[in-house]
């Protein structure tokens, strides 16, 4: 009973998160300006970390948790660097 | 490496609570992504994904903590690491990004953003 409930809810939440990731990816491809793309890429990183956590609950292992931690860390570094580039990196004007 | 634990022996209340938290978290993340796609300007869009970075991943982290604590019959708290990290880093990145966007808009002479004071 509880295993069935957990299995179905993990399945549904993974579908939700996958859909959210697709929407954010559409914004990455379609975003009219560079800051829109950077914001959507940051969203994709966060959704990927959340999705890995749901995989961790499904399998019961701790390996996915560490992957989610690394993804959250790299997402922060990447977004901060891209924001800094948008602020300073306009070489050709 | 990935050991599959039999989840059938988890009590029903923990399963219901974990499922509820998972659905709330993923639903809020989905709403944030829809907002990211649908809202009009960048300064409106920058608010939408914070649903996913605060309550979305927070609910999933609480669900994971609850699930592993009940499953292993000891408190499993290492998810707090991700939670603290997200709480610290999300305002920093979005502030940097919004300031960069404001700088770019002002530089192009966009009329919609407020001018620099002083």
Could you tell me if the ipTM is greater than 0.95? Answer: no
**Could you tell me if residue A93 is inside a domain?**
no
d(C-alpha A55, C-alpha A83), whole Å: 30
- Average pLDDT value for chain B: 86
d(C-alpha A52, C-alpha B19), whole Å: 16
Residue pLDDT, tens place only, A22-70: 999 999 998 788 889 999 999 999 999 999 999 999 888 788 999 999 9
Sign of CA dihedral B85, B86, B92, B93: positive
Number of domains within chain A: 1
**Beta-carbon separation of A17 and B81 below 8 A:** no
**Could you tell me if residue B2 is inside a domain?**
no
Percent of chain A clearing pLDDT 90 (strictly above): 59
pLDDT at B118: 57
User: Which residues form the domain of A34?
Assistant: 2-88
Cβ neighbours of B68 in A, within 8 Å? 60
**Could you tell me if residue B74 is inside a domain?**
yes
**Could you tell me if residue A20 is inside a domain?**
yes
Report which of B11, B19, B18, B16 is spatially closest to residue B67, judged by C-alpha positions: B18
pLDDT at A90: 54
Please, what's the b/e burial string for A55-68 (b: 16 or more CB within 10 A of its CB; e: otherwise)? bbbbebbeebbeeb
Number of domains within chain B: 1
CA distance B64 to chain A (A): 6
3-state secondary structure of B117: coil
**Could you tell me if residue A48 is inside a domain?**
yes
* Confidence category of residue B7, pLDDT binned at 50, 70, 90: low
**Could you tell me if residue B87 is inside a domain?**
yes
Residue pLDDT, tens place only, A69-88: 999 999 999 998 888 888 88
**Beta-carbon separation of B46 and A16 below 8 A:** no
């Amino acid at each position: 009973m509880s295993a069935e409930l957990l299995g179905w809810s993990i399945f549904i939440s993974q579908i939700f998160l996958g859909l959210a990731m697709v929407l954010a990816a559409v914004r990455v491809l379609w975003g009219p300006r560079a800051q829109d793309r950077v914001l959507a890429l940051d969203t994709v990183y966060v959704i990927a970390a959340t999705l890995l956590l749901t995989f961790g609950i499904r399998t019961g292992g701790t390996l996915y948790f560490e992957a989610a931690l690394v993804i959250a860390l790299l997402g922060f570094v990447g977004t901060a660097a891209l924001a800094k580039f948008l602020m300073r990196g306009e070489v050709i004007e | 490496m990935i050991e599959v634990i039999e989840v059938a022996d988890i009590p029903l209340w923990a399963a219901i609570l974990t499922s509820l938290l998972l659905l709330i978290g993923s639903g809020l993340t989905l709403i944030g992504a829809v907002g990211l796609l649908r809202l009009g300007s960048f300064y409106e869009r920058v608010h939408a994904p914070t649903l996913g970075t605060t309550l979305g991943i927070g609910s999933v982290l609480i669900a994971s903590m609850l699930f592993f604590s009940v499953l292993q019959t000891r408190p499993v708290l290492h998810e707090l690491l991700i939670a603290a990290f997200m709480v610290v880093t999300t305002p920093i990145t979005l502030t940097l990004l919004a300031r960069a966007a404001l700088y770019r808009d002002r530089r192009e002479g966009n009329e919609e953003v407020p001018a620099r004071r002083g």
